[in-house]
Amino acid sequence: MEIKEQVRTVLKDVFTDNSQEGILSIYVYGSITGPDFIEGLSDIDSIALVENRTDQALEKQLIANLKERAPLIQNFGIRLLYVSEFQTLQKKSVLTSFIPPEALLLDF
């Protein structure tokens, strides 16, 4: 299976298995979405848009889940992004500690 299809399948499964935890959607971003992606070298970045009630500990669980489901995919990561971060522009997640929420609005 092609790596992009494998990533899609794994993320769909992660979404299905964790939607009760407040995951609204999952997006991939970065080089995997374009021609600059180099299998085995490039990171595979994803964002889970989550409800405000979602526990931040879910991020570590999701990362572990990705490693378990796709052990051969290197550098496969996921970060949480809270709906409230778009509404208030106040930082809550690890992701917005290094990317301001207002900068992420352009991507969504």
pLDDT in tens, 57-106: 999 999 999 999 999 888 999 999 999 998 888 899 999 988 888 888 77
Contact 79, 62 (CB under 8 A): no
Residue 1 above 60 pLDDT? no
Give pLDDT tens digits for 20-60: 999 999 999 888 888 888 888 889 999 999 999 999 999 99
Integer Cα distance of 53 and 1 in angstroms:
36
pLDDT of residue 108: 67
CA neighbours closer than 13 Å in the CB half-sphere of residue 13: 12
